[in-house]
Amino acid sequence: MLKHTGVRRTHIHNVRLATLLSLTAGLVNGEGFLGFSVLTTNVTGHAALFAESISIKDWTASWVIALWMLLFLGGAFISSFILDIIGKNQRYSYLIPISIEFLILLANGLFGGDFENIFFGKQIFAGSLLFAMGLQNALVSMISKSVVRTTHLTGTFTDLGIELAQLKFVRKEKKAEMKARIRLKIYIIIFFIAGALFGAYAFRSLKFYSFFIPAAILIFTLLYDVFRVNAKLYYRKIEKKIKTVKPVIVTTKT
């Protein structure tokens, strides 16, 4: 679902990517908010908080919020830079951004509970999650050519509203394609909200260890592609061997 790009990418690849990583972002959204009282999957709300902190001359808060927004931007930049350096069509080029995100979630699960004992701990851990979501959002956007966005719902709801309105007027031969895009948006919304709900319940039971759940989903996403690629290579080798084996003709004397 991650390795396919360009013309090789199909709708089902986008659906798999959208469901798993929207679920991951939803989990981080719920757990991050309950753990640090900070929205950790997008920067829209932080713009208002930034303006408010400046208006009341809370310079420390304004600098922290500005840093959070820059961290999200930095995550998107790093992810895009890595994909461009390695090459979007190279196998496993997505491994580095996903691995960085995994390590960040793992660190939050292991050490997030001690944020009160760390200087600026809350700001550091919340900022790390914003960086991770920037990584994920850019990765998914580049792989799917901006068809899939997983870390926030504003654009998804907007696109869904537009496409629902256009469905009545689109030509008959284009309706199937339009319906597929609408279903994709609905999957993203459902799995993001489901992830947020599950994350909220998980955090109340597991506290910061709940961050291990989205980390596990990332590992599953990586292994899914790795094992599918290896399985395909294995079966191709078997097919080549079968084709190269010459049939033995047995003749009998009469």
Span 15-49, pLDDT tens digits = 888 899 999 999 999 999 999 999 999 898 899 99
On whether residue 1 sits in a domain, the answer given is: no
pLDDT at residue 7 above 70?
no
182 burial via Cβ count (<10 Å: 0-12, 13-18, 19+)? middle
16-30, 74-88, 238-252: which has the highest mean pLDDT? 16-30
| CATH number for the domain harbouring residue 199 | 1.20.1250
Look over the chain and give the mean of its residue pLDDT values, rounded to a whole number: 85
Tell me how many domains the chain contains. 1
On whether residue 249 sits in a domain, the answer given is: no
Q: Are 150 and 18 in contact (CB under 8 A)?
A: yes
On whether residue 131 sits in a domain, the answer given is: yes
On whether residue 104 sits in a domain, the answer given is: yes
On whether residue 231 sits in a domain, the answer given is: yes
On whether residue 251 sits in a domain, the answer given is: no
On whether residue 81 sits in a domain, the answer given is: yes
Give the torsion sign (CA, 92, 98, 102, 104): positive
Between vectors from CA 110 to CA 218 and to CA 226, what angle results, nearest 5°?
A: 20
Q: Are 174 and 36 in contact (CB under 8 A)?
A: no
On whether residue 100 sits in a domain, the answer given is: yes
Name the residue range of residue 51's domain: 6-244
Lowest mean pLDDT among 33-37, 173-177, 212-216: 173-177
Q: Which two tokens stand for residue 233?
A: 């290579």
pLDDT tens-place string over residues 133-162? 999 999 999 888 878 888 889 989 999 999
